[in-house]
Structure 1
């Protein structure tokens, strides 16, 4: 398999992986089962992948991880909005 196709498919799958969670959070307005630490670590790691993609001039890495960063930042915003401290 062409490595570019492999990278694009992998990027698409990892980029969209959190979309079902984001949709569920938006519908239910409930973030009790979401870990803030996990979100922060994931956003940090994905951001580093974007940086790495720029360093290596690899568009599939940049685009897929930048999209994933945006999805997870959206989830983080929802976490901030819907988090109900007891």
Structure 2
């Protein structure tokens, strides 16, 4: 694996897993009142488009980061709807 790919995966890990604390906090507190519904919709749409972009370019760091981020943020969106 070349340096650029390793760099991409490092960036992917840091940005993707930054959503994990929010997801856990929302799950534990059973409250998502401070999370904007509109932001989640826009963000998930953007992440989905980034995922498609990564798939088209066959860029594993982009695919990995956006697939995982999309899952985490879909869970946060689901919790937002569930705890409304």
Q: 1:39 maps to which residue?
A: 40
Displacement of 1:13 in angstroms is 0.9
Q: Within 1, Cα distance between the matches of 2:47 and 2:18?
A: 13
Paired residues, number: 83
TM-score of the two chains, using structure 2 as the length reference: 0.93
Q: 1:66 maps to which residue?
A: 67
Q: Within 2, Cα distance between the matches of 1:76 and 1:32?
A: 11
Q: Within 1, Cα distance between the matches of 2:62 and 2:8?
A: 8
Q: 1:4 maps to which residue?
A: 5
Unaligned runs of 5+ in 2: none
RMSD, aligned α-carbons:
1.2
Give the match's secondary structure for 2:28: helix
TM-score of the two chains, using structure 1 as the length reference: 0.91
Displacement of 1:74 in angstroms is 0.4
Q: 1:81 maps to which residue?
A: 82
Q: Within 2, Cα distance between the matches of 1:52 and 1:44?
A: 12
